[in-house]
Structure 1
Amino acid sequence: MNTLLMIYTKFYLLLIGFLIIRGTESTGTCSKKSSEDCASSTSNGNKYSEEANGEFEKYEAIIDAAKREYEPCTDNICKCYNQVISKDLKPFRSGINEESIRNIKSKGTKYQIIDNKLYRENDCLFPARCSGVEHYLLKLLHKVNNTEFILNTRDWPQIFQHHGPHGPVFSFSKTDDYLDIMYPAWAFWEGGPAISLYPKGIGRWDQHRKLLGQVGNETKWNDKMSKAFFRGSRTSSERDALILLSRENPVLVDAQYTKNQAWKSDADTLHAPPAPEVSFEEHCKYKYLFNFRGVAASFRLKHILLCKSLVFHVGNDWIEFFYPFLRPWIHYIPVERDASKEKIKELLEFFENHQDLAQQIANNGYNFIWNNLQLKHVDCYWLNLIKRYTKLLKYKPTLGEGMKEIVGK
């Protein structure tokens, strides 16, 4: 009898142990998972809760509405870009006189096109930036009438609409608070941000476009790492939430600060050693990429959209000439510039659980940049901008004193 009782007892204990093990596996605990999988499942542990599902439905509705309202440019993209030129020139539709040019001469570098030759005042604040602009101006000399304009090569726009001198200044980026006339940035050719990976500046968009387009197509969606990625300097505190989220949840986000020109100590990178810079091609290994403005618009956006990764674009104030044709929830995911760590995490978790939507939007962003932002479109924009601007001049420009001729290299 005692022997039979011992057998029953052992059997009972084995059965209980078996049920405990099965229960552990079925509830998704980490006994048989890698630490990374475990952390991922723990961080998303409530993703199927009623509250989470409610948030997910909200995003699905926003995306559906964006699709219904989106009307893509069906014309030649250069004609579509004319809408941006029209808007920027509207404040000057009554005409531009010599006095208005004199009033804003200090806001940039003066250029003239006289008798099919290009001239510039002797001094240029950023020679590489001027050279990047001149590459395009030299190509249109025989297609435009005599003209002159003030071109700003600083990082920020010059003509604040609410006060100060008003006049037609060309700038590469602006917000709605400024009346500057946008032109394609110098960095499409040369003079872009210089970092250790690109010591002469990013430059040569045609080369980056070809390389990143190839990498974006060769890197399959399912082979990308399922985490958000960012590398950049601490230009503004708007980037802090993502950096702090990465430190709390490195499985979900890999975001670190690099050095910038003002870096003095680890305090300038939120009390962590600065991370090394990472090439654009390396960005393409991740499913989710973050874009933040710099001092003005960031040159990064057009590059990372070619990765065929889902781009989270933070803030909507600063634009370049092509931004108005990139639509939130269609080509990228908009993120408020003061978004909290929790809000960013919520967005990432939504797309982690809606991979078809994530890949679809990523492909939309890629297709727009690949098809509509080639160097021939930059040429076309410059030509249309100079022609339409010149028609507004109320006087006939003559070659100014001290102007030097710019010739091709």
Structure 2
Amino acid sequence: MREMEESTNSAPAATSTSTSTSTKFWDSFKWPTCPSSSSSSSSSSSSSSRSRWFSATTASLVLIFLFICTITFSQWSDYIYFPQSASAGSSVPSFNHNRMFSMNNNDEYSKRDEYLLNCSSSNMKITCPANYPPNTFNRNNTTSSNQTCPDYFRWIHEDLKPWKSQGITKEMVESLEKGAHFRLIIVNGTAYVKQYMKAYQTRDDFTLWGILQLLKLYPGRLPDLDLMFQCHDKPAIQKKYYRGWRVAFTHPQPPPQFHYCGGDSAFDIVFPDWSFWGWPEVNVKPWVPLEKDLEEGNMMKNWTSREPYAFWKGNLHNGPRPKLGECNSIQDWNAQIIDQDWIKEGREGFRDSDLSKQCVHRYKIYMEGNAWSVSEKYILACDSMSLLINPRYYDIFTRSLVPMTHYWPVNDKRICKSIKYAVDWGNNNANMAQVIGKAGSEFIFDQVKMENVYDYMFHVLYEYAKLLKYKPTVPEGAVEVCSERFACSPLGLQTSYKIETMVNGPSEQGPCELPPPYDPLTIQSIQDRNTKIKEKVKMWEPPNAWYEWWW
């Protein structure tokens, strides 16, 4: 089965245009022509005093113009450099991003100084600077955080629980080589990556970019570690292969693999997805600017003035989503379902896919594709009452969502009728529907801030590293990675998103305090509570035939 965003109706992979080696970079710019000083001498047919005055004035103007030319050239040279030669390994021009990176969307972090990229002409092969950011932690420069992390951080302990008693061996990690996209090793604060296969679009690229920004935000704080990461849609480490008689044919402990989502039937360790730093293939901004756009979009239309039906837009051609397409009738099912043609949308400049302009309905539908979808946080952030169609997978925060508090649970056995009932209920109970919608968006804006995303990354990596029973070393084939290797490239949407999300300097305070794990009874009570609420809502919906009670 093809993946959620890898269907024939998915977005085209991002392409980068490069300058031909036969075309000189500076040929594309028209530089101002500075006049020669000889132009100040003109034929004199007037009196000698008038000639001297004219010559002096002209000379002054020439000097001023030369000065302006010099300033203009120096301003341009801040943004470009000229390739040394074709034999240098690459004649494709690079850009000096140092000025540009001072204007990004990470101003919310308290920092002491700024990191700058070394994208100069002398760094044609893009080497990583030594000890930059610093790989040692100076406690004198940082204050401890007095904030406790959000409750969903507690699930970190649960995700790592399978390895709590016996730890993680090198053999367990390396057993994942055939299925992982990349291996990340951090030794003495420096990151190294060994790639096994290319991920779909730029998932791996932006995931690694995010990890590099974490190392700059909290330099020297992470211990040495060694992990495998898979970037597909579905979790891969299935629990059924590590239970009962199957254990005799497999390793008694599952291998630890990081992934964007998890599920009750899988052991994958959940990690923030790539889209927090942007999804250029579908023109989705990084989370910090998009979060601001969504908040502004919510203020454009209050809940009562929005369209009084449910809305969904996306790729209908994977997983169980074709069933959702059958609900596309405002009159019959109170729902508008739009199949998004990403290829056509890309050709038209994504003019109809601005997420911040889609918060105009009272109800927004979320449905998984092949697995969990990154769209969940955008849907929940709309102030609309979110209708979640029985999700089976979860990301870093969704296990802490409560049905009928943050969203309305939709019965996946009778999707259209369940959506219709939810909309009818909401329109007849407008105040309660607004409260549910507002609670969902407040959860996203208050608890899924970018600093919380970085802190989640920090804690899950830190707790994972504590379980390693060996000292990580750089394996053969791994290469050092740094911000320069990802961002020193000709400007495009990918580079632009990295400009927006680059961490400028180390945080002046440490990450939030990780709360303790849930005890087994608490986890069971959370699951029982959610199940009872969903069953109660299901009983509200009037079945049209006797056999529907069976479900």
1:162/1:355 CA distance change after superposition, 3 Å? same
Q: Within the alignment, does 1:107 sit opposite 2:179 as a pair?
A: yes
Aligned equivalent of 1:81: 152
Superposed counterparts of 1:63-78, under 5 Å: 76=147, 78=149
Deviation at 1:248, TM superposition (A): 6.7
Q: Which amino acid aligns with 1:105?
A: E
For residues 4-19 of structure 1, what are the structure 2 equivalents within 5 Å?
Answer: none
Equivalence for 2:287 = 205
Query: C-alpha offsets along residues 197-238 of structure 1, whole Å, 9 cap, x if unaligned?
Result: x2xxx2511111110011113321122111111111114463
**Shift of residue 251 of structure 1?**
8.4
Equivalent position of 2:446 in the other structure: 371
Residue of structure 2 in register with 1:182 after alignment: 270
Q: Deviations over 1:234-283 (max 9, x none)?
A: 1446334543333372783221222368xxxxxxxxxxxxxx95432232
The structure-2 alpha-carbon separation of the partners of 1:144 and 1:251, relative to structure 1 and needing over 3 Å to count, comes to: closer
Match of 1:194 among 260, 281, 293: 281
Residue 334 of structure 2 contacts residue 419 of structure 2 at CA under 8 Å; is this kept in 1?
Answer: no
Q: Does the 8 A contact of 2:335 with 2:419 survive in 1?
A: no
Change (3 A) 1:290 1:236: same
3-state SS of the aligned residue for 1:177?
coil
Distance 1:92 1:203, change over 3 A: farther
Q: Deviation string for 1:55-97 (max 9, x for gaps)?
A: xxxxxxxxxxxxxxxxxxxx95625233111000000112001
CA distance in structure 2 between the aligned counterparts of 1:120 and 1:378, rounded to whole angstroms: 22
Equivalent of 2:227, from 144, 149, 168? 149
Q: Distance in 2 between the 1:277 and 1:218 partners?
A: 17
CA distance in 1, matches of 2:417, 2:232: 35
Report what 1:160 is aligned to: 238
Asked whether the equivalents of residues 185 and 225 of structure 2 are also in contact (C-alpha less than 8 Å), the reply is yes
- d(CA) in 2 for partners of 1:85, 1:294: 25
State the Cα RMSD in Å.
Answer: 2.3
1:14-53 mapped onto 2 (5 Å cutoff): none
Q: 1: distance between equivalents of 2:209 and 2:260?
A: 15
Letter in 2 for 1:82: F
Q: Which structure 1 residue ranges, 5 or more long, are not aligned?
A: 1-74, 262-275
> What are the within-5 Å matches in structure 2 for residues 87-98 of structure 1?
87-93=158-164, 94-98=166-170
Q: Tell me how far 1:289 sits from its aligned partner.
A: 0.7
Q: CA deviation at 1:333?
A: 0.6
Worse-matched range after superposition: 286-295 or 123-132: 123-132
Shift of 1:124: 4.6
Q: Which moved more, 1:309-318 or 1:338-347?
A: 338-347
The Cα shift of 1:334 comes to 0.9
What are structure 2's unaligned runs of at least 5 residues? 1-145, 242-249, 344-350, 485-551
TM-score relative to the length of structure 2: 0.54
Query: Do the aligned partners of residues 79 and 388 (structure 1) sit closer, same or farther apart at CA in structure 2, a change above 3 Å counting?
Result: farther
TM-score (norm 1): 0.72
**CA distance in structure 2 between the partners assigned to 1:337 and 1:328 by the alignment:** 15
Q: How many positions carry a matched residue from both structures?
A: 316
Question: Which residue of 2 is the match for residue 134 of structure 1?
Answer: 208
Cα contact 2:260–2:395 (8 A) shared by 1: yes
Correspondence for 1:279: 354
Alpha-carbon separation, structure 2, partners of 1:213 and 1:76? 24
Q: Secondary structure at the match of 2:258?
A: strand
Q: CA deviation at 1:398?
A: 1.1
Distance in 1 (alpha carbons) for counterparts of 2:474 and 2:439: 47
AA matched with 1:380:
D
Matched residue, 2:527: none
Equivalent position amino acid for 1:188 in 2 = F
Larger Rg: 2
Q: Are residues 160 and 242 of structure 1, via their aligned partners in 2, closer, same or farther at CA, if it must alter by over 3 Å? A: closer
- Residues 242-281 of structure 1 mapped to structure 2, 5 A cutoff: 242-247=324-329, 249=331, 252-259=334-341, 278-281=353-356
In the alignment, the residues of structure 1 paired with residue 240 and residue 402 of structure 2 have an alpha-carbon distance, to the nearest angstrom, of 28
Give the AA of the match of 1:144. L
What is the CA deviation profile of residues 303-361 of structure 1, one whole-angstrom value per residue up to 9, with x for unaligned ones?
12221111101122111010011111001111122224223212211111000011010
Q: 1:124 to 1:357 in 2, by over 3 A?
A: same
Paired amino acid for 1:223: S
| Residue pair 2:389, 2:410 contacting (<8 A) in 1 also | yes
Determine if the alignment matches structure 1 residue 384 to structure 2 residue 459.
yes
- Is 1:288–2:375 an aligned residue pair? no
Displacement, 1:118?
Answer: 0.4
Q: Does the 8 Å contact 1:310/1:362 carry over to 2?
A: yes
Partner Cα separation in structure 1 for residue 301 and residue 408 of structure 2 = 21
- Counterpart CA distance in 2 for 1:162 and 1:251 is 38
Q: 1:221 aligns with which of 303, 307, 317?
A: 303
Q: 1:76 to 1:368 in 2, by over 3 A?
A: farther
CA contact (8 A) 2:183 2:195 kept: no
Match of 2:413, SS? Answer: coil
Residue identity (%): 24
Alpha-carbon distance between aligned partners in 2 of 1:82 and 1:214, rounded to the nearest angstrom: 28
Q: Match of 2:501? A: none
Task: Tell me if the contact between 1:107 and 1:169 (Cα under 8 Å) persists in the aligned partners.
Answer: no
- Distance in 2 (alpha carbons) for counterparts of 1:237 and 1:156: 11
Which region of structure 1 is more displaced relative to structure 2, 366-375 or 98-107? 98-107
Larger mean Cα displacement after TM superposition, 235-244 or 351-360: 235-244
How far, CA to CA, are the matches of 2:262 and 2:173 in structure 1? 20
Distance 2:147 2:400 in 1: 13
Do 1:175 and 1:318's aligned partners in 2 also have CA atoms closer than 8 Å?
Answer: yes
Say whether the 8 Å CA contact 1:231–1:278 is kept in structure 2: no
- Aligned-pair CA distance for 1:122: 4.1
Quote the residue 2:198 is aligned against: 125
